[in-house]
Structure 1
Amino acid sequence: MSDKDTIDQEEIFSKVMRAGRRTYFFDVRSTKAGDYYLTITESKKFTHDDGSFHYKKHKIYLYKEDFQSFRETLEEMMDYIIDEKGLEVISERHQKDFKKEDTSSNGEVKSSESFTDVSFDDI
C-alpha cells in the first residue's frame, strides 16, 4: 500500500470554513484500529512585502472520549462571549479581512463571506 492510499484511507469526511484570511479544516480521520477522531486545523495566510506569502497552520486532535466535555466547554465559552459582546460586533480589522475576495485556482472570484456552517452537533 502506498503512502497516498494510507492517507486516503485515514481521511473519512471533511468540511472547510473560510473566515477572512483564516481557513478552518474539520477532518474526520481513522486510527489504524478503525476508530474515528476529529482534527481541526486553522490555516492563516501571511503576505510578505514582496507579494509572496506563506501559511501558518495549527492543528487540534479531538478524540471521541473528549467530545462531550469539549462541546460543553466550547458552548459555554461562546455563550459567554455572545452574552457579553453580542454577535453583531466585529472588529474593524476583521471586517476588512472578512470582506476581501479570494480568487480560486480556476480564476473565479468568490467572496470570503461564504463559509460552511459546521454544527458541533454533527461531531
Structure 2
Amino acid sequence: MAQNEIHSFNVTRGSRTYFFDINKSMSGDLYLKISESKKTDAGFEHHRLMIFEEDVTVFAGIFQKSVEHLKSLKVKKPIRSGSQKRS
C-alpha cells in the first residue's frame, strides 16, 4: 500500500479490475479513489475518479439510485425455441 493509502478493495471482472482506495491527501483530507484498469492490446488503460469525504454520502446516494435505475431498464432477453417449423 502507498504511504497515503489507508485501505484498498479490488475486484476483477474479465479484462477489467476496479480498485476502491481510501486515501489521505497531503493536507490530511480523506477521499475515495475509484480506479479502473483495463487490459488492451497496447497494455493497460487507466481511469480514476476521486471523491472527497464531504461529498461521499451524496455521491453514494446518487450512485445507488443510478444502479437501481439501470437494473429497472434491463430488458429481458427473449427465450429462443429449440425447433421451428419451416413451410
TM-score normalised by L of structure 1: 0.56
Q: Decide which of 21, 35, 39 is 1:45's aligned counterpart.
A: 39
Distance apart, 1:84 and its partner CA = 1.9
Q: What are the ranges of 5 or more consecutive residues in structure 2 without an aligned counterpart? A: 78-87
Cα distance change on mapping 1:83 and 1:24 into 2, 3 Å? same
Runs of 4+ residues deviating >4 angstroms = none
Distance apart, 1:60 and its partner CA = 0.2
Distance apart, 1:75 and its partner CA = 0.8
Distance apart, 1:35 and its partner CA = 2.3
Higher RCO (Cα < 8 Å, 6 or more apart): 1
Q: How many residues align?
A: 77
Larger radius of gyration: 2
Partner of 1:85: 74
Does 2:6 align with 1:12?
Answer: yes
Q: What are the ranges of 5 or more consecutive residues in structure 1 without an aligned counterpart? A: 1-6, 48-52, 90-123
Tell me how far apart the structure 1 counterparts of residues 4 and 61 of structure 2 sit (CA, whole Å). 27
Q: Which has the higher helix share?
A: 1
